[in-house]
Structure 1
Amino acid sequence: MQYVLARMRLMPWSWHHTGMLGAHDLPPLNLQALPPEAAAWIARWQHAERQLALRDQALVDRDRELLQARDLLQRKDRDIAWRDAKIEKITFELARLKRWKFGASSEAMDADQRRLFEETIAEDEASLRAQLEQLRLQAAADDAGKAKPKEAPRQPRRQALPEHLRRVEHRHEPDSTDCQEPGCGRPMTRIGEDMSERLDIVPAEFFVHRHIYGKWACRCCQVLRQASSIPELIEGGMAASGLIAHTLISRCVDHLPYYRQEAINARSGVHTPRSTLAAWAGQAGAALEPLYEVHKAFILACRVLHADETPVKLLDPGAGKTRRAYVWAYARSWHDAVPGVIYEFCLGRGAQYPKTFLAGNAQQGRGRWSGTLLTDRYGGYDSVLDPRIHPDRISAACVAHARRKFDELARDGTSPIGDEAIRRYARIYAVEAELKDMNDDERQAQRQRLAKPLWDNLKQWLELERRLVADGGAAAGAIDYTLGHWSTLTRYLDDGAVAIDNNHLERQIKPWAMGRRAWLFAGSELAGQRTAMVMSLVQSARLNGHDPWAYLRDVLARLPTQLNSRIEELLPHRWQPSAVC
């Protein structure tokens, strides 16, 4: 010890006055040359310092793990709160459906309203119960660390499937019929089979899938082997994916109410009550909702969007009459290489609906949208595109809407301005037709070279004519509309990805106009949302060249086994038919 103290007295002055010294601060020592007591004391000192360093590192690691655990708990708390809120909402909707179903206020409906109302109630109830069951299974899995074992489905009481229908047999046998028990390996004996039947349809023909599951047993080991059952969208039901798809297509695309589908199916000797058809549609709608959300994110990934809205009637059970609701539609640009359209059923036409849609959803991984929005200049879009609030959003107007105002003048024959304006717009559209197959950069360059001079001449002519027409007339209104929205009408000249008009989206809204004439009104807000989901996927499949029924049938067949991480494979623009499709 005296030797060590002597060495410390010989150290530089700064080592004495800079605080506590560590082992790394001492000059190298030859421990073998020191007295045994001093060497042992230094070794203990160095060991203690190493232990302190290890303890400090352990504390740092523990703090990091605690932070990670706290973040994980916060995320789980948010997920649980969101799930509980959704369960509460679904439970409330179910209770409200029950009140509507048995309430005396429904007596105010006429026969047609009552029929659609009963169908909608059955459809909504099936959809809500399917969503509620899925949320409860997720909650049970989170609490227990594993999924709740599924109860054996009750055998439904239903009529036997007609014997005259064609049967298509699908035989399922184990991969190996040799006993897999250790030390055995003997061939197993087939002792029987289980059989299930599901009703399916191809256009104009019902047929039955007969699934036969062979039973194999090893008499030596007393072991039974059988192929696993094929997962179905509606477990324990008689409907195969093709029949469910046919029901949805008939309802949402062909606009056939369930009572008409029931009568059509009855002509083939198949009994499908409209309450059963509605329940199938409700469960299918619940299963399609995750795919719809992913499709929404795909639509919002495009920097140029078309937007429009159309009114539909919504049944108000409490009042016994209908009210006005709206379907908002959004489509990727007409010039985008991958088309797609999405619909959203809303209770009104206010600006809050496009604001919410374009704001994104952090819970679902959708960010806030930015880009160019092509609209018909309805005032509800003004706050959505306000440059003071959304500097990253650009407004573009539909040229076809401006042209139609002059077309009305030409048809009425009240002003020669209408004919001349139509001729000038025709030359602008002729230029645009020649640029259809170009890429965005080439299209923009040619628009600047060919179309911009035509627009400059049109503006000069309109300003001159405006001085000659009286205020308040139809001609003045048509001219003021074009000049008042000049910058947004000509926005497409500066961006080759922007279309000249909104006609592309207006064509995608036509199915809703046809539906209004067929089913007259939506039975409930949930039914409108469900129809919007199905029509979004089906109409996008059409835009991508797919048969709607083939697409929906394959998607419904694959959804029960499709991983959430690979659900994008079922989007209309990425869908590839499966081997059995």
Structure 2
Amino acid sequence: MTTPVSLTIPTPAEAARWAPEQIVALAQANAAAARQLDALQLEFQAMKHQIEWFRRQLFGAKSEKRIVDASPHQMNLGELPVPESSPPPPAKDIAAHTRRARTTDYAAGDASALFFDEARVPVETIAVANPEIDGLTADQFEVIGEKVSHRLAQRPGSYVILKYVRPVIKRLDTQAISCPAAPEGVIRGSRADVSFVAGLITDKFCYHQPLYRQHQRLGDNGIKVSRPWLTQLTHGALSLLEPIFTAQLDSIRASRIKAMDETPIKAGRAGPGKMKGGYFWPVYGERDEICFAYHEGRSGKHIAQTLGTDPPPEGAVLLTDGYAAYERYAEKCGLTHAQCWAHSRRKFFDAQALEPERAGQALEMIGKLYAVEKHIREARLVGEARRAHRLAQAKPVLQQFFAWVDAQFESQGLLPSSPLTTAMAYVRERRAALEVYLSDPEVPIDTNHLERALRVVPMGRRNWLFCWTEVGAKYVGIAQSLIATCRLHDIDPYTYLVDVLQRIGQYPAANVAQLTPRLWKQHFAANPLRSDLFEISK
């Protein structure tokens, strides 16, 4: 903290006898005191802002919703008078009931199934027909034995063992012995059914259950498998889905309007007990598709690596926050750069603690812009009707807002480091980008649709914390891209994954785009491929 200057104020009689040198010294001391006072005011404002921020983190709501003080003449709901002699609510008799006894019969099976406890895990038996006996009568062959293979499957909320019974037969006329092969899984040589693989991915990336917790749950349900096996299974499945991710990213790149952001993630070891810092770069296309591209840093070059450097479609727009790297990329590629009003509003919201009156005025005007957007949604205005409504209703408010910002800078009393000053400088420098949405009806006012879709990454970070390798981070991005897009198109991620994991191995590479969630809904959602478990459960 600055040490205050000691200043002696002379009496009028003493000042009259002062020499010119003393007067100059007094003026210099006054100037030094004024500078120290300004520094102390800046320091005080900064500390007050920090205290208010910490107070909000500890005791306040994290939402940025602006709460307007209610009228003092309006009673709150909790203040309504309650009669003192209110009768108690009437009693209600609940009919007694009995539970049905458990009837599940866990029959003992062969001793080869060592990776699960048959006394605790339901086993469904599937008889595999031998094609060698097609057209033969019962007296033309005899069953001389059977071979049994087991595959781990999953129903929503439970684990099931699929027991494939494959008869070994000997033809009496040729004495030839044959046995049908066990059905091939989506991952060659694995004992995991496609339903289990899809459930493993869905639980981890959709419901944020880390693999170690799923491993514990498997053990609690009598399944004896290793944790590395679950990791290998997840990586193997997601590597199959990578071409679909690439096709979806190409679709987003072709969009005229794209929104982009970045969010941090810990991925890869930087040393003993240390993790590297990386970034997901989520990009949202106009067809309601999102991809989470992983890169090792926040450098602007990763924007070009994600979006590409090909000439953009005519009238292309990139909607982002105020990070300067996006503006440089837009200028280089010939894109129109639009910026998010929600990020601008956030800065005024944070300035309320120190400048409640003026920050409140700014928030009120920004609120009017959002009221216009709410009316557009409710009236379902599109195209030229939306553009005309924005120009008629939102443009005057926006002009009033920036005129107010300019007036504040012309007035006195604003500290350079004040949060309100920072907020106003932020929007004034970005006025052109903040006005883009007025003239283009397809451009949203903010990136909130992207923020909602990328929320899965911060939620996941609170559960699995980090990715052990950068390859693992890439696979996290693939899984979240497909699952989040399924959510945007009202597709059940589990059903989708069960289907595409079976299709991807035999599907032509030229048509892999049809397996992206948006196009899969059009082509395959009506009759998706199922696991053998589905046929048993019907």
TM-score (normalizing by structure 1)? 0.65
Alignment check: 8 A CA contact 1:161 1:199 kept: no
Alignment check: 8 A CA contact 1:190 1:214 kept: no
Determine the C-alpha separation between the residues in 2 that align with 1:383 and 1:281: 38
Structure exhibiting the larger radius of gyration computed from Cα positions: 1
SS across alignment from 2:517: coil
Which of 253, 265, 270 is the matching residue for 2:206?
253
Alignment check: 8 A CA contact 2:132 2:178 kept: no
Percent identity between the aligned chains? 26
Q: 1:214 to 1:297 in 2, by over 3 A?
A: farther
1:400 aligned onto 2:342: yes
Alignment check: 8 A CA contact 1:178 1:188 kept: no
Which residue identity lines up with residue 256 of structure 2 in the other structure? R
Partner of 2:471: 526
Q: 1:327 to 1:312 in 2, by over 3 A?
A: same
Which residue identity lines up with residue 117 of structure 2 in the other structure? P
Determine the C-alpha separation between the residues in 1 that align with 2:285 and 2:423: 29
C-alpha distance after superposition, 1:96-155 (max 9, x if no partner): xxxxxxxxxxxxxxxxxxxxxxxxxxxxxxxxxxxxxxxxxxxxxxxxxxxxxxxxxxxx
Report the Cα offset of residue 479 of structure 1: 1.6
C-alpha distance after superposition, 1:188-246 (max 9, x if no partner): 63645543221111233111122334556654456677666533122222211121222
Alignment check: 8 A CA contact 1:315 1:322 kept: yes
Which of 406, 410, 434 is the matching residue for 2:375?
434
C-alpha distance after superposition, 1:38-79 (max 9, x if no partner): xxxxxxxxxxxxxxxxxxxxxxxxxxxxxxxxxxxxxxxxxx
Which residue identity lines up with residue 159 of structure 1 in the other structure? L
1:418 aligned onto 2:370: no
C-alpha distance after superposition, 1:290-315 (max 9, x if no partner): 11111211222211111000111224
1:580 aligned onto 2:530: yes
Q: What are the equivalent positions in structure 2 for 1:187-266 lying under 5 Å apart?
A: 189=141, 191=143, 193-214=146-167, 219-220=172-173, 229-266=182-219
Partner of 1:455: 398
Which residue identity lines up with residue 508 of structure 1 in the other structure? A
1:323 aligned onto 2:273: no
1:279 aligned onto 2:232: yes
Please tell me the root mean square deviation across aligned C-alpha atoms, in Å. Answer: 2.7
Report the Cα offset of residue 390 of structure 1: 1.8
Q: 1:247 to 1:524 in 2, by over 3 A?
A: same
Q: 1:174 to 1:453 in 2, by over 3 A?
A: farther
Q: 1:550 to 1:522 in 2, by over 3 A?
A: same
Partner of 1:349: 298
Determine the C-alpha separation between the residues in 1 that align with 2:173 and 2:469: 61
Determine the C-alpha separation between the residues in 2 that align with 1:176 and 1:158: 27
Report the Cα offset of residue 287 of structure 1: 1.1
SS across alignment from 1:306: strand
Quick check: 269-278 or 206-215, which moved more? 206-215
SS across alignment from 1:560: coil
Partner of 2:262: 309
Report the Cα offset of residue 179 of structure 1: 6.1
Q: 1:219 to 1:373 in 2, by over 3 A?
A: same
Greater helix fraction, Structure 1 or Structure 2: 1
1:506 aligned onto 2:451: yes
Report the Cα offset of residue 186 of structure 1: 12
Determine the C-alpha separation between the residues in 1 that align with 2:509 and 2:178: 30
Return 5+ residue gaps in structure 2 as ranges: 1-111, 532-538
Which of 445, 451, 460 is the matching residue for 2:388?
445
Determine the C-alpha separation between the residues in 2 that align with 1:187 and 1:307: 70
Report the Cα offset of residue 463 of structure 1: 1.8
SS across alignment from 1:541: helix
Which of 95, 112, 117 is the matching residue for 1:162?
117
Determine the C-alpha separation between the residues in 1 that align with 2:184 and 2:256: 39
Return 5+ residue gaps in structure 1 as ranges: 1-156, 361-366
Report the Cα offset of residue 471 of structure 1: 5.3
SS across alignment from 2:455: helix
Q: 1:322 to 1:468 in 2, by over 3 A?
A: same
Partner of 1:267: 220
Determine the C-alpha separation between the residues in 2 that align with 1:538 and 1:530: 12
SS across alignment from 1:435: helix
Alignment check: 8 A CA contact 1:324 1:347 kept: yes
Q: 1:158 to 1:353 in 2, by over 3 A?
A: farther
Determine the C-alpha separation between the residues in 1 that align with 2:364 and 2:232: 54
Q: 1:178 to 1:249 in 2, by over 3 A?
A: closer
Q: 1:302 to 1:223 in 2, by over 3 A?
A: farther
Q: 1:211 to 1:459 in 2, by over 3 A?
A: same
1:556 aligned onto 2:508: no
Quick check: 169-178 or 424-433, which moved more? 169-178
Q: What are the equivalent positions in structure 2 for 1:64-213 lying under 5 Å apart?
A: 159-164=114-119, 165-173=121-129, 177-178=133-134, 189=141, 191=143, 193-213=146-166
Determine the C-alpha separation between the residues in 2 that align with 1:187 and 1:567: 49
Q: 1:379 to 1:158 in 2, by over 3 A?
A: farther
Determine the C-alpha separation between the residues in 2 that align with 1:160 and 1:347: 39
Which of 295, 300, 305 is the matching residue for 2:253?
300
Alignment check: 8 A CA contact 1:233 1:559 kept: no
Report the Cα offset of residue 275 of structure 1: 1.1
Q: 1:246 to 1:499 in 2, by over 3 A?
A: same
Determine the C-alpha separation between the residues in 2 that align with 1:188 and 1:372: 73
Alignment check: 8 A CA contact 1:188 1:217 kept: no
Q: 1:158 to 1:274 in 2, by over 3 A?
A: farther
Determine the C-alpha separation between the residues in 2 that align with 1:159 and 1:193: 18
Q: 1:399 to 1:213 in 2, by over 3 A?
A: same
Alignment check: 8 A CA contact 2:197 2:233 kept: yes
Report the Cα offset of residue 178 of structure 1: 4.3
SS across alignment from 1:330: strand
1:390 aligned onto 2:342: no
Determine the C-alpha separation between the residues in 1 that align with 2:325 and 2:176: 69
1:358 aligned onto 2:303: no
Report the Cα offset of residue 568 of structure 1: 2.8
Q: 1:565 to 1:177 in 2, by over 3 A?
A: farther
